[in-house]
Structure formats: C-alpha cells, structure tokens
Amino acid sequence: MKDNLESLLKEYLQRDAQSTTRRHFIKNCAQGVGGLALSSIFMGCDPLVSPKKKTTMTFSERDLNPLATLAPPFSPKVKSVIYLHMAGAPSQLEMFDHKPELLKLDGQDCPQSLLEGKKFAFIKGTPKLLGPQAKFKQEGESGNWVSNFMPHFKKVVDDVAFLKAVHTDQFNHGPAQLFMHTGSARLGRPSIGAWATYGLGSENQNLPGFVVLTSGGNTPDAGKSVWGSGFLPSVYQGVQCRSKGDPVLYLEDPEGVSRNLKKNTIEAINTINKAEYAKYADPEILARINQYEMAYRMQIAVPEVMNINDEPETIKQMYGVEPGEESFANNCLLARKLVEDGVRFVQLFDWGWDTHGNIREGSIDLGLRNKCREIDRPITALILDLKQRGLLDETLIVWGGEFGRTPMQENRGNKKMAYKGRDHHGDAFTMWMAGGGIKKGASHGKTDDIGFSGIEGRVSVHDVHATILHLLGFDHEQFTYQFQGRPFRLTDVEGEVIKEILA
Amino acid sequence: MKKYVLIVGVRLLSVCLGILLIQSCESSERVDFSTQIKPILNNKCITCHGGIKKNAGFSLLFEEEAFADTESGKPAIIRGDASGSELIRRIKENDLELRMPYEKPKLSDAEIELLTRWIDQGAEWGEHWAYSLPDKVEPPVFSQEASFTSISSKKFVQNSIDNFVAARLESEQLTPNAPAEKNTIARRVALDLTGLPPNSKIFNAFVSGDLSYENLIDSLLSDQSYGEKWASWWLDMARYSDTKGYEKDQGRSIYEYRDWVIKALNRDMPYDQFTVEQLAGDLLPEPSVDQLIATAFHRNTMNNDEGGTDDEEYRVASVIDRVNTTFEVWQSTTMGCVQCHSHPYDPFKHKEYYNLMAFFDNTRDEDMPSEAPVLKFYSPEQQQTVDRINAWVAQYGSKKTTKQYQDFLLYNEPVYNSHHLKDIQNGSYDDHASTVLWDEGTARFENVSSERATALYLKYNAGISGTTITFRKNSSQGEILGQTRINKTKGSIIRKIPFQKVDEKFDLYIETNNDGVAKEVNIINLYWVALLDELPGKEKYGYASINNSLLQVLNSHTPTVPIMIENPDHMKRTTQVFERGSWLTKTDTVLPNTPKTLNAWNDDWPKNRLGLSQWIVSKNNPLTARTLVNRVWHQIFGRGLVATIEDIGSQSEPPSHPALLDWMALRLMNEHNWSIKSLIKEIVMSGTYRQSSENNPELYQKDPNNELYARGPRIRLSAEQIRDQALAVSGLLSSKMYGHGVMPPQPEGIWQTVYSNAKWIESKGEDRYRRAVYTYMKRTSPYPSFMSFDGGSREVCSIRRTVTNTPLQALVTLNDPVYLEASHELAKAMQVSENPEENISLGYEKATYTKITPVKLEALRELYENSLEEFKNENTNEPFFHLEKKPSAELAALTIVANAIMNLDEFLTKA
C-alpha cells in the first residue's frame, strides 16, 4: 500500500480528469431513478412546476415531507457535519496534548491536592503519575503538537483547530456519551444530529438526512439514544447504515421481486391512496404517497452511496479501506460520499478507545497505538479528499471522545495492573474541528503541566454544541422545540460559541 | 335629617351611576386573571421574572412574590393603582433601555390595556383552572334552532358528550358528519378497544343487525385482547422494558408486571386502586403477591451496571425518575425542571420537589446488579416449605420475628449491601456486586442498628477454603459479635451465624483472615449482611429440620420480579435539597410533603408513598381525573381535549371543550367510580365518536386538527397495532397470553451491546406470532420495526408517541419478512375462485372490512396481471419471499397483491 497520501491524491486527480466521472447522481429528483409514473408533485422535481407554484396547497411542505430543506435563520458556514466520535475516550496525552513535565514525573505519587474531592471511575487510593507513552513534535506552519501515534495527521494539522481544554462533568461512558451528543447525561433529549436535521431538513430526498456509521465491533455504550430523536418526531433520529446485511434495515426487495414489480406495487398502492385522499382529504395520505415514492428511490440511492467498491483504486488506497468489512476507514470514505450527496449529518462511532490497561488491547502504549493507526490515515484522507473536492469549506468535521484520560496510571482494585492504562477523566481533554468557518491551524485552551485541568480557554460540552449550531446557521439560544409546556434547546441554559476557533 | 340622608343617598347613587356609565364606555368588564392576565405574564414576562430568573428581585410566579418589594424597595404592582405601578410604567416606557419586555417587541395596546385595567380593578390574583377542582357543570341543553335541526336530524346526539360537542359546533357554525357506515365503525371501535380488527363472527353479527352497537362494545371490552391493547398505552408511561438500560443493558425479569397491567385492565380494576397498588402496594396492610408485583411500576427505572459508576448516583437518579414519572403520569405536570429551580411557569417551588422526593427516597433498592429487592416466586413444593417455616416461626417466635421471617423469605430484605462498607483495608469494592477482601482484610458498616438481632445472615462467594470472618463491635478491639469459618463455595451462598445482641447503634467491623494465602489474593466476595432474630424454637423437636429447610429455600433460585420495599425505620435515609439539582451538593433536610398549589394533605394519610397515592386519587386532587380523561380521549381521537397531553397547567393549551373535560372528570370519579372501561365506553358510545371521518378541503381548512369534532377520528395505527393487524388478518396471530418476552424475526446483527453476550434468539412456533405487547423490549436496541413506527425505547416515561410518516415505514411493511409472511398467508386465504377479481376483492375486504371500489379493483387487478406475467416467465426454482418452496405463479401474484393491500393507507389507518 502506498503510504504517501498526497501522491495518491495527485494520481487520482489526474485519472479523474481523463475519464468523465460518473457523477450522474440526481440529488432531489425521481426521474432517472426508476421513473415512477406518479412522480413527485411534491418534491419540486417537475421542471414545469416552479417551486412557488407548489405552495398552492394549504399545508406546508414539511407536513408532506418532514425532511424538506429549510434555510437556517442566520447565514450558515457549513451545510453538513461529519462527527467522528472515538467511543471509549481516547487519551489526549498520547495524541495531541504535549506534556513534557508529566514525563519527568513518571512513576511518582499523584499529589494529594489533585485527588481531594475528586471522583474517579476506577482509581483507588493514591495512584502514580504516568508519563506520555508517545513522542511529540510540532508540525505544519501552525507548529501545533502531534504525537508519533498519528504520523499522517501532520499533513492536515494546519487545517484543524484544536480545543485543548474541553471539560465534562460525566466520567462514565454511557452518561458522558449521552451528554456529548444530546446535551444531557440523562435520557430523553434529542441528539445533535436530530436537532440539525429537524432544523435544516435534508438536501437529498433520496437518502436519510442523518446517517450513523459504526465501527470497532460494538455500538456506543449509551446505545442508540446517542443518535435518538428524544422528544423530536422520530423521523429526525439517526439512521444506522450498516456494512453488513441491508445497509438500511428492510431496504432490499424480497426474493423474487424485481424492481419492475416493486414499481408496479408502489404505483398500485399510490393510485388507491389517491382515491382515498379524494374521500378523506387527509394530508397524511398525501404524505404517505410521497413517502412510498421516497422509499422506492432510497432503495436505489442508499446501496449506491454505500458502495465503495466502485471508487477509484487510488481513493481506496488513500483511505485504506477494506471493502466488505466494517471499518473506520470505510466509514470515513462513506462519510465523504454521503456529504457529497447532501446528507446533513454523518455520525461516525468507532468503538475500542477505553484504555484502562487491564488488557493488551486496552493499554495506553500498545492498544492505543493500534487504534490510532486505524484512524490516522482515514481521517487525514477524509480531510484531504474533501478539500480537493471543494467540500471542506461547506462541511464541518468534529473529532473527539466522551471525555479524556487521567495523567495518573490506573490502579483498579488498588493493585498494579497488567498493562499501562489511564482512567476516565473529564476535567480536561482535547477535541478538534476542521472545515467551513473554522480558523485553520488554531489551538485554543491550555492545560496545566501534567494535563490534569484546563488553565486557559476551558470550554464545556455545551460550548462545543453552541459552536456547531452556530456554524450551521443557528443561534443556540433561539433554536428551541416546545415540549412539556416549555421550550427546550440543545444547550439547555448554557453554552457559548467558541469564537477563538472561528475564522 | 331623613331628607339629608336621602339627598346623600341620591348623590351617591348618581355618582355610582356615573362611574358605571364611564366604565361601561371604557369596557368595564372585569378582567379574568386566569384566562386574560396569566397568559400575558407567562408569554411575555416570566422568562426573566419567574421561577428561574428573578431579575430586579421581581417574580410573577407566585402571588406573594408579585406584590412583594422588589430590589428597588417598592413593589412593582400596586393594587388599584395602575398609573402608580412600576410594571405599567415600564411596559409603556419609550426609552428602550428601560422598556419591558427588555429587548423584545413592545406589548400590544390591548395587552397594556388589559394589564392596566386588571391592576386598577385591584389586581386580583387567581388560580389557573388546572389547579382548581373541576366545575360541576350540566351538559348544555340546546334549543331546536336552525343549525341544531341538522345536528338532530343526523342522529348525532347519542349521549351527553355530544351535547358539549354540539354546543361548540353550533357556535362555530359547523355541522357534524353523518354516522360512519356499520363496517367502518365496527373496525374502528374494535381497533380502539382491542387493538385488533373485529373477528368475523362479531363483525357479521353487528353488520347484519343481530348485535347492537352497545353489545358490540360490551363484548369487545370483555375480550382479553382489550387489556393487551391498553397495556401498551400504560407501559409507555411505566417505561416498561425487559432490560435494565444504560451501557450494559442486561436482561431484567419483570414481565410479571406487564402481565399484572394486562390483568388489572381486563378486570377493570378501578383507577384509584390501580394507582395505589402501583405506587404503594407494598405499604398496604398485608399486601398480596399481586399488590407487590404492582409496585414494579417504579422498578422499571433503569439500573446502571456500567463499570466504575457510583451506585448511589444511580439510586438517586432512579428516585428522581420516580418523582418525575409520577407527576407526568398522574398529574400532567413536568416536575423535572423543579429539580434545579422553582418551576419556570407553574406554581411549584424548588423545595417542594424535594418534599416529593422524600416520599420516594426510602425504598430498599440501591442500583444493585441483582436488582434487589426482588420478589421470589417459589414452586408449589418450595412454597409448602416456606409455609412450614413461617408457621414454625409464628408458633415459637414473637410477632416481630414472624414478620421478619415472612419478609426475608419473600424478598431477602432488609440487608446491608457491601457497597456501604467503609475504610476497606486489604481489599476493595469490586465494582457493584461485592466487596473483595484479602488476608487481614478489614472494613466496616457504619451506624448499624441491629434491633437486638441474634442472627447474622451473610451472602458471599469464596474461591478458597480456610478463611475466618469475624464481626466485631465498632473496631478491631471491639467485642466479637459473630465469627465463622468460610470454605470454598460453588457460586454465592447465604449463611446464618449466631450474633451477639447489641442495644445501641454501632459500627459493624469486619475482619477476614487466611494464613494459607499470599497477599492480595481474593479470599471472599461479600455481598451483604442481614441482622435478624435467630430462628426461634431451638429446643423444640424438629428445629434442625426447619433450620435446614430455611437455608435451603433462602439459597433456592426462583423466578423473581423487582419490587418496591420500604426501609425499616432504623435504616431510613434523610432527604436533602440538592443545590441546583446536583446530588453531590446537599443542603436543607426536608420531609415528605405535597405541593401547596394542589389539594391539601389529609392528616389521616400516612406520610409515605401510600399517603401520597391516596392524595393523588383523592377527589380533591384537581389533576388526576382530568389527566386520565384527557389521555383516554387522546388515545381514541388522536388529540386530547387539552392538546398538550403531557402538560395541564399554566403553559398548556386551553381545553377545546373545558366543560366537557370537567364533566367527564367528575363523572369518572363520582358515577363511574374510576372505572376505565366505563369511561372508554361512554366515549365510544357518543355520536361524536361514531361519525364518519370523511372530510373535504373546506372543513379541513376550517379545522385541520379536528379540534371541533365535525368528523370522526382518522389516525395511523400504532406500531403494535400494525403488527397485530397484519398477523390477525392473515390468520397467523397467536392468542397466547403472558410470560417471558418473545423474539419474533428481526434482521441479523441488530444487537451489538458492549460487554453483553445477550443474543436475539428467534422464537419458535406460535411465539413468533404473539401480539406486539409480548415482544422482548431491549432499551438500547428496541425491535426495529416498532422503532420505525414511532415506538419508543422505554428508557424514560413517554406520554405521547409523535406520529410520523417516513419512507422507513414503507420499507418495513413492504420488505420485512414478518409482513411478507403475513401477505403470503393472506394470499392463500384469498385463493377461492378461478376469477382473480373475486380473489382480490376478497383479500381487500378481509383486510380493510370494506367492499372494494372499481377504481381500486382495477389498480390491484393490473398489479396482479403484471405480476402473473412476470412470474410465469420466470424459472420456477427462483426463491420467492423467503419461502421454502416457490408458490404457483398465481399464488405468487396474489401474494404481491396482498402485500400491496397491507401497505394501503386505509389499512395502516383507523378511519
């Protein structure tokens, strides 16, 4: 496998220019994809009907199509979001937060002053400090620090803005993931992707507006609620697209049913539903007609977008994909394809970052290094690929975990553990963002000498949410949903936009 | 003298008349606080001057605050003097820096006028209607005026509900629809009452006129499927699930509770009793097993087994969930926000939240992986032994001892769980389950009250023999209270050892020693200890055998269900206010109490959950009956009389028919004696319900949400109904009731929970075709097709499922093998004639209970013919619909038609 991502990219661009790309995908319209006889009076697909004419109906387009595109109240910096969540919580101290002082203190008892009044998930008594297990270098023009666990990432370090002092008050996976994605550690709130889809709809009516891709063998600890719709209508919840079996549940036609037969079936259903509408004048019937058409189109559009086999070899190599497998690299390439096709919010969860040191895979030196290897290349490729397609400016990439890890070595059960590991830690950890509206090469926030707490530029989970919403064109304080007699918002009663990382 | 009085009198009179005249010119009508003023305050002022923020020391949430001195030292409202009131001055202010609402548009002239008039009239504070008792109202009697003639001519009025509805229709100049056709109403009412389409026998009897509408309803209400249908509604609120939730989301055996709900609904247990048993069945005198099972309502809270989580944090989370759920379910009130501060809009104070929490803060459950306390279900033989032990204890022991043993045998409580151990040396708390001790291990339970116990029960697990465990009073130097030798066990066991009586509170100090092992070797996992009286009758014949039996049944593994059990007095927790809702920052100690705004407490009630449940079902509670009526109405009409069914309070939408809501609420309590079946029957007997749901664009424009009821309800079926109906019309549905959750087919790879080896093992035989209410419910990964049709994940209380309309739903009913199998079965039943049109018509009628129209027949016939042609040209070995053997081309084509029928809007909708 070629290791130079930039040369692969160049190679791809040359070939791409030679052959006309088969980017025939029609984003919003049914024509061309099966061509249903009843084709969409609703979607504005009929070129003879101007968008204004279709508003002669008395109900809004949203009633017919809850994913109809809406403009945000303010001018947005990005159209789509790709959120990369490393489930289990990656160690900032081995990746981005360079702490030479911690190396000097390696093996010494953690000062009591740091432990007073603190609660940890597993650390008992007085733990010892654990020096960084990776080597750091300043990279790019920004001179931001990147560890040798992420060798490719230095190529894009000038594209990202680091948040070095993010904090959360949750230090167990489930609640912390919920907090990171719904703004509340308790269940029942909509996820950020659901908010975005509710507020903006989808640019592509043949694909779900909010797609979730998982890797690492497990779904996130907090379950499907991290992409749930909470009290928002369930149409805004994330749709998990799977690498094995149907990419979307029940997408495939039953055995023995041809496309033609499915088309006939949907036409018969919709003819009868139209007759029903004449009798009952219930707009829900029109909505259902529309949904059946959309389902038919999704059956083609989803497998097409989920198929990475037909991507050029150079692109596949650049990401390091493994077709047919469930992998983070595949998901990164899919994420690009999805935002390219107008999907609003793409959420990647990669499981396996919980490096306590109780097993080899969960060790901070060996296990973490392998996990970094799994993401380093694909993430770098994703940023480069979006950039060369001119999509990085209209996409926001967010990277992070649900919390960080302790500068102390874990001592579960008050014993020395089999491998080197770090416990959960919410006081300070690193996240980064890249893409439209983001100040390239910025680094905001600073932790103390051992990386225990933020000492400058601390930002909360609510601040991160406020910033994402801001880039999508929302004032997080005004973007509300009325429920149980009061307006709810993603950021509850907190959150400030992190201006320091905005361009 | 008399003359003088007279003159004064006349003058006074003329002055009065003058005032009256002036007032009538200037709209002298008395302003109503509740309907005219409170909405303005809530919408325009209370965000900054309410429960959360009290800017400038001014709040409009409570009467005493609204008229109190603000930070300026003066009150903002001076009764009777609008022009002297700061509030009026500030809303009229031209300087934008001073004008209120700050940085918001100016209030309208009408709003300013209303507020001014209200203050001038004395600024009388009122109570929101939701917090006053329902008004005693009579159904409106209407004249035989013009518009009513048409209403009466349509036989609209069937019972008193219709009088209320007709009065509103008349005022809006609308005429109701004609009654729905018999076949339509039969399908509608069967789906509403039983969740299933009517069976053919009952349907034919009704359509032919052999069965009256009322008899149809009575027979549907007495069908067992009624309880299964309405249980789904209740279980959403009860957040019933077959797993514990959170990260590990392990299985939970609580289906006995689901079955209890079905049975209680089928028996038509009065709602007051239904409430009391679920909230406090354990506190009733000598509770029955059923009453204990009912308390599992509040054990449906999630249980967090994730490594490194603090059990106390999640115990508190469960208690908070119980407060919130109780108020959401019974009072249509969101208490959640009062956890951190006074309610932003409704008159509930921050502290009152913790008064309520104090009712729930004293149950034995402590977020243990075992879900203790659990009620044990003994086999008949085991039960005989248990009875024998209880009889023995009753014969030789005191009443106190008898009660102790009865309870301990039923649910192993009260115990001191090992997560309470302090100062653990040479050992550690082994994350959730037990405390691990090594050689020279020590630890202690603080502040133990033994109630003069003479026996210590302990549950432990030991991998090594030869350990001595010693229990001392207070410290390593203290008196030995009990001691025993621990040998290797197979799994965990419960043992009993003699224990020295202690009169006062003490620390139970524990030591473990084993000379034969190295350091840091686990010699015992200790789960809990319990301090009880010794089994009495030691000197009596048969003691040894009883003693043996006792330990045998204590160690027996039986089916269980988690239940609520109250702490004994000596183990009671004190409840404190959490500052800003954080359980780590506790302030004032509080006692159980109910919010002042609602009905008064009756001193005859005990200050515990039982009293609280009595307070809820008291006829003086303004919200309980209204809430139930509103939610049942919503189930049937798809919209509540108060549209915000989650919330009846100062922010809720005004009721569409306030008098009807109150009339039905009072009738439910006083005439129906809380019978849910009677309430439902009254609604479905009404002419309002029985109308056709046909509609036209004008009527739709005038009343898009059918708030006025000029037409009958038309609503998409629920996730459960969609499955059950498909199985019912295809003849696959099993009528088996109760028991473990079942696992009908779902796609591979749906369950991917971390740290769990739980598997979806597809059910066999009739369990594949059980009603949806019996489908295994896993919180982190609910049954996918239910999720598509808006079913929830049951993690928290859910009052409403927002009905959506999505392409993913189409994919379920078009492609899910469950629906394919159903369409194939339906197709087989359709194959009765050589004439495909007859077959198609029959299938359509079986599914929709309606005769097919020519247009629809034509569409389906065309589909049939196209399919037939395609199948005839195909290789017959090609697989079809996951069937083992490919059916004939004709049957395959009919299957396609049946699949289309099962995807029709009219099939998926109750009309």
* ipTM of the complex as predicted: 0.88
Confidence of residue A415 (pLDDT cuts 50, 70, 90): confident
Confidence of residue A57 (pLDDT cuts 50, 70, 90): very low
Is the CB of B304 inside 8 Å of chain A's CB atoms?
Answer: yes
Q: How far apart are CA B744 and CA B9, in angstroms?
A: 87
H or E element that contains B391: helix B380-396
How close does chain B come to A294, measured CA to CA in Å? 6
Most confident among A25-34, B55-64, B316-325 (mean pLDDT): B316-325
Give SS3 for A71. coil
What is the reported pLDDT for A55? 28
What is the reported pLDDT for A56? 30
Question: Read out DSSP for A364-398?
Answer: TTTHHHHHHHHHHHHHHHHHHHHHHTT-GGGEEEE
| Residue contact B793–A299, C-beta within 8 A | no
What is the reported pLDDT for B152? 60
| Residue contact A255–B879, C-beta within 8 A | yes
Share of chain B above pLDDT 70, in %: 95
Helices B311-331 + B225-238 axis angle, to 10: 130
Is the CB of B693 inside 8 Å of chain A's CB atoms?
Answer: yes
- Beta-carbon contacts of B504 under 8 Å, excluding residues fewer than 6 positions away, are none
Is the CB of B425 inside 8 Å of chain A's CB atoms?
Answer: no
CA dihedral B52, B55, B60, B61 (to 10 degrees): 20
| Residue contact A268–B644, C-beta within 8 A | no
Nearest residue of A to residue B793, measured between CA atoms: A225
Of A187, A254, A291, the CB nearest to B815: A254
What is the reported pLDDT for A19? 45
How close does chain B come to A207, measured CA to CA in Å? 10
Confidence of residue A2 (pLDDT cuts 50, 70, 90): low
**pLDDT digit string (tens) for B743-800?**
999 988 888 766 677 889 999 999 999 999 999 999 988 999 999 999 988 998 999 8
Of B329, A188, B790, the closest CA to residue B782 belongs to B790
**pTM score of the predicted model:** 0.87
pLDDT over 80 (residue B7): no
**pLDDT digit string (tens) for B735-749?**
999 999 999 999 888
| Residue of B53, B814, B876, B894 to mutate, testing the A interface (most A Cβ within 10 Å of its Cβ) | B814
What is the reported pLDDT for B753? 66
What is the reported pLDDT for B151? 62
Average pLDDT of span B398-407: 97
What is the reported pLDDT for A20? 37
| Residue contact B870–A253, C-beta within 8 A | no
Tokens 């797993």 — which residue? B243
CA angle B219, B224, B227 (to 5 degrees): 110
How close does chain B come to A213, measured CA to CA in Å? 13
Average pLDDT, chain B: 91
pLDDT over 80 (residue B384): yes
What is the reported pLDDT for B316? 95
Q: Chain B contacts of A121, Cβ < 8 Å?
A: 307-309
What is the reported pLDDT for A17? 56
Instruction: Identify which has the larger pLDDT, B626 or A45.
Output: B626
Task: Calculate the CA B799 to chain-centre distance.
Answer: 7
Q: How far apart are CA B141 and CA A78, in angstroms?
A: 61
**pLDDT digit string (tens) for B178-228?**
999 999 999 999 999 999 999 999 999 999 999 999 999 999 999 999 999
Confidence of residue B288 (pLDDT cuts 50, 70, 90): very high
Query: Minimum mean pLDDT among A19-33, A483-497, B127-141, B542-556: which range?
Result: A19-33
Average pLDDT of span A113-134: 89
pLDDT over 90 (residue B804): no
| Residue contact A234–B866, C-beta within 8 A | no
What is the reported pLDDT for B31? 87
- Beta-carbon contacts of B882 under 8 Å, excluding residues fewer than 6 positions away, are A254, A255, B817, B820, B821
Pairing assessment for the beta strands A459-460 and A160-167 based on DSSP bridges: parallel
Tokens coding A486: 């009061």
Is the CB of B808 inside 8 Å of chain A's CB atoms?
Answer: yes
Q: Tell me whether the omega of the peptide bond preceding residue A254 falls within 30 degrees of 0, making it cis.
A: no
Q: How far apart are CA B729 and CA B196, in angstroms?
A: 9
- Amino acid occupying residue A78: V
CA dihedral A308, A312, A317, A323 (to 10 degrees): 20
Of B302, B807, B878, the CB nearest to A294: B807
| Residue contact A66–B804, C-beta within 8 A | yes
Share of chain A above pLDDT 70, in %: 90
Of A172, A260, A292, the CB nearest to B309: A172
What is the reported pLDDT for A52? 33
Residues paired with B40 in a beta bridge? none
**pLDDT digit string (tens) for A285-340?**
988 998 899 899 999 999 999 999 999 999 999 999 988 888 999 999 999 999 99
- Amino acid occupying residue B259: D
Q: With contact defined as beta carbons under 8 Å apart, do B20 and B29 qualify?
A: no
Nearest residue of A to residue B335, measured between CA atoms: A484
Q: How far apart are CA A256 and CA B882, in angstroms?
A: 9
Confidence of residue B150 (pLDDT cuts 50, 70, 90): low
Confidence of residue A414 (pLDDT cuts 50, 70, 90): confident
Cα–Cα distances in Å, from B142 out to A176, B166, B667, B690?
Answer: 61, 9, 21, 20
Phi, then psi, of A280 in degrees rounded to 5:
-105, -15
Q: With contact defined as beta carbons under 8 Å apart, do B875 and B855 qualify?
A: no
Burial of B551 (0-12, 13-18, 19+ CB in 10 A): middle
pLDDT over 60 (residue A73): yes
Query: What counts of helices (H) and strands (E) characterise chain A?
Result: 12, 17
pLDDT over 90 (residue A118): no
Q: How far apart are CA B274 and CA B613, in angstroms?
A: 10
What is the reported pLDDT for B474? 97
Q: Which of residues 615-644 of B touch A (CB under 8 A)?
A: 644
Q: How far apart are CA B622 and CA B599, in angstroms?
A: 7
pLDDT over 90 (residue A251): yes
**pLDDT digit string (tens) for A177-224?**
999 999 998 888 999 999 999 999 988 889 999 999 999 988 888 888
How close does chain A come to B816, measured CA to CA in Å? 6
Alpha-carbon radius of gyration of chain A: 24
